[in-house]
Amino acid sequence: MNKILYAPWRADYISGQKIKGCVFCHISTHSQEDEALHVLYRDDHCFIVMNRYPYTPGHFMIIPHQHTDSLEALPETVWLQMSALAQKGVRMLKEGFGAQGVNLGMNLGKAGGAGIAEHIHLHLVPRWERDTNFITAIGETRVYSTDFERIYKKMLGLVPDFID
Protein backbone atom coordinates (compact mmCIF):
# COMPACT_ATOMS: atom_id res chain seq x y z
CA MET A 1 0.00 0.00 0.00
CA ASN A 2 1.39 3.39 -1.00
CA LYS A 3 1.25 6.17 1.55
CA ILE A 4 1.05 9.79 0.48
CA LEU A 5 2.67 12.64 2.38
CA TYR A 6 1.11 15.99 1.60
CA ALA A 7 3.42 19.01 1.71
CA PRO A 8 1.43 21.92 0.26
CA TRP A 9 4.03 24.53 1.27
CA ARG A 10 6.42 23.00 -1.30
CA ALA A 11 4.13 24.21 -4.11
CA ASP A 12 5.83 27.62 -3.98
CA TYR A 13 9.18 25.93 -4.55
CA ILE A 14 7.88 24.17 -7.64
CA SER A 15 5.62 26.80 -9.15
CA GLY A 16 6.63 30.02 -7.42
CA GLN A 17 8.41 32.95 -8.99
CA LYS A 18 12.05 32.11 -9.57
CA ILE A 19 14.71 34.65 -8.61
CA LYS A 20 17.25 35.16 -11.37
CA GLY A 21 20.87 35.18 -10.33
CA CYS A 22 22.03 34.75 -6.75
CA VAL A 23 19.06 34.42 -4.38
CA PHE A 24 21.12 35.76 -1.46
CA CYS A 25 22.21 38.86 -3.41
CA HIS A 26 18.55 39.43 -4.28
CA ILE A 27 17.60 39.30 -0.59
CA SER A 28 20.56 41.53 0.30
CA THR A 29 19.50 44.27 -2.13
CA HIS A 30 15.72 44.13 -1.60
CA SER A 31 15.24 45.28 1.99
CA GLN A 32 11.80 46.61 1.08
CA GLU A 33 10.75 42.95 0.69
CA ASP A 34 12.09 41.74 4.06
CA GLU A 35 8.79 40.30 5.26
CA ALA A 36 8.06 38.46 2.02
CA LEU A 37 11.64 37.16 1.93
CA HIS A 38 11.52 36.19 5.63
CA VAL A 39 14.43 38.37 6.72
CA LEU A 40 14.81 38.53 10.49
CA TYR A 41 17.61 41.10 10.71
CA ARG A 42 20.05 43.09 8.62
CA ASP A 43 23.00 45.39 9.24
CA ASP A 44 25.83 46.84 7.14
CA HIS A 45 27.75 43.56 6.92
CA CYS A 46 25.19 40.77 6.77
CA PHE A 47 21.59 39.69 7.21
CA ILE A 48 19.67 36.87 8.85
CA VAL A 49 17.00 35.03 6.87
CA MET A 50 14.82 32.04 7.63
CA ASN A 51 15.67 28.96 5.62
CA ARG A 52 12.63 28.53 3.38
CA TYR A 53 13.13 24.75 3.29
CA PRO A 54 14.36 24.11 6.84
CA TYR A 55 15.75 21.01 8.47
CA THR A 56 13.80 21.85 11.64
CA PRO A 57 11.42 24.68 12.62
CA GLY A 58 13.39 27.85 13.34
CA HIS A 59 16.32 27.06 10.99
CA PHE A 60 17.87 30.31 9.78
CA MET A 61 21.03 31.51 8.06
CA ILE A 62 23.47 34.36 8.58
CA ILE A 63 24.64 35.65 5.20
CA PRO A 64 27.17 38.34 4.27
CA HIS A 65 26.00 41.02 1.85
CA GLN A 66 29.25 40.50 -0.06
CA HIS A 67 28.82 37.95 -2.82
CA THR A 68 31.61 35.42 -2.39
CA ASP A 69 32.07 31.69 -2.38
CA SER A 70 35.30 32.01 -0.41
CA LEU A 71 35.27 32.23 3.38
CA GLU A 72 38.98 32.96 3.34
CA ALA A 73 38.39 36.05 1.15
CA LEU A 74 35.71 37.48 3.45
CA PRO A 75 36.87 40.63 5.27
CA GLU A 76 37.63 39.94 8.92
CA THR A 77 35.12 42.58 10.07
CA VAL A 78 32.32 40.76 8.23
CA TRP A 79 33.33 37.37 9.65
CA LEU A 80 33.52 38.82 13.17
CA GLN A 81 30.01 40.27 12.77
CA MET A 82 28.69 36.94 11.49
CA SER A 83 30.30 35.21 14.48
CA ALA A 84 28.78 37.72 16.92
CA LEU A 85 25.37 37.19 15.32
CA ALA A 86 25.84 33.41 15.54
CA GLN A 87 26.41 33.70 19.31
CA LYS A 88 23.29 35.85 19.68
CA GLY A 89 21.35 33.55 17.38
CA VAL A 90 22.22 30.46 19.41
CA ARG A 91 21.11 32.25 22.56
CA MET A 92 17.86 33.27 20.85
CA LEU A 93 17.17 29.70 19.70
CA LYS A 94 17.87 28.23 23.15
CA GLU A 95 16.37 30.85 25.46
CA GLY A 96 13.67 32.33 23.24
CA PHE A 97 12.68 29.43 21.01
CA GLY A 98 13.24 26.55 23.43
CA ALA A 99 15.81 24.60 21.42
CA GLN A 100 17.71 22.01 23.44
CA GLY A 101 20.70 22.23 21.12
CA VAL A 102 21.83 23.97 17.93
CA ASN A 103 23.79 22.82 14.89
CA LEU A 104 25.98 25.47 13.25
CA GLY A 105 27.40 24.84 9.83
CA MET A 106 28.74 26.09 6.54
CA ASN A 107 28.97 23.92 3.47
CA LEU A 108 31.69 25.54 1.39
CA GLY A 109 31.62 24.79 -2.32
CA LYS A 110 29.50 22.36 -4.26
CA ALA A 111 31.84 19.51 -3.32
CA GLY A 112 31.38 20.54 0.32
CA GLY A 113 27.61 20.09 0.04
CA ALA A 114 26.52 23.70 -0.49
CA GLY A 115 23.12 24.02 -2.14
CA ILE A 116 23.92 27.63 -3.04
CA ALA A 117 27.67 27.37 -3.49
CA GLU A 118 28.26 30.79 -5.02
CA HIS A 119 27.43 32.77 -1.83
CA ILE A 120 28.62 31.60 1.57
CA HIS A 121 26.12 31.34 4.42
CA LEU A 122 26.09 30.04 7.98
CA HIS A 123 23.23 27.76 9.05
CA LEU A 124 21.81 27.76 12.59
CA VAL A 125 19.58 24.71 13.05
CA PRO A 126 17.68 24.34 16.34
CA ARG A 127 17.56 20.80 17.69
CA TRP A 128 15.53 18.86 20.25
CA GLU A 129 16.08 15.41 21.67
CA ARG A 130 14.38 12.86 19.43
CA ASP A 131 13.64 15.45 16.70
CA THR A 132 14.48 12.92 13.98
CA ASN A 133 12.90 9.56 13.35
CA PHE A 134 12.87 6.70 10.91
CA ILE A 135 11.21 8.67 8.12
CA THR A 136 14.22 10.98 7.82
CA ALA A 137 16.72 8.15 7.67
CA ILE A 138 14.78 5.51 5.76
CA GLY A 139 12.21 7.48 3.79
CA GLU A 140 14.54 10.40 3.00
CA THR A 141 11.63 12.66 3.95
CA ARG A 142 11.35 15.32 6.61
CA VAL A 143 8.16 16.04 8.47
CA TYR A 144 7.84 19.71 9.37
CA SER A 145 5.44 19.80 12.27
CA THR A 146 4.39 23.44 12.25
CA ASP A 147 3.49 26.33 9.95
CA PHE A 148 6.48 28.17 8.47
CA GLU A 149 4.85 31.62 8.60
CA ARG A 150 3.94 31.17 12.28
CA ILE A 151 7.55 30.25 13.07
CA TYR A 152 8.84 33.26 11.07
CA LYS A 153 6.62 35.66 13.02
CA LYS A 154 7.66 34.09 16.33
CA MET A 155 11.35 34.35 15.44
CA LEU A 156 10.92 37.92 14.20
CA GLY A 157 9.38 38.81 17.56
CA LEU A 158 12.44 37.41 19.36
CA VAL A 159 14.97 39.44 17.39
CA PRO A 160 14.68 42.69 19.43
CA ASP A 161 15.40 40.81 22.67
CA PHE A 162 18.34 38.79 21.40
CA ILE A 163 19.88 40.24 18.23
CA ASP A 164 19.43 44.03 18.19
Positions marked active-site: 121
H/E stretch holding 27 reads helix 23-29
Burial degree of 113 (CB within 10 A; 0-12, 13-18, 19+): exposed
> Per DSSP, what are the bridge partners of residue 142?
none
Is 88 within 8 Å of 36 (Cβ atoms)? no
The total of other beta-carbon atoms located within 10 Å of residue 135's CB is 12
Between CA 156 and CA 153 the distance in angstroms is 5
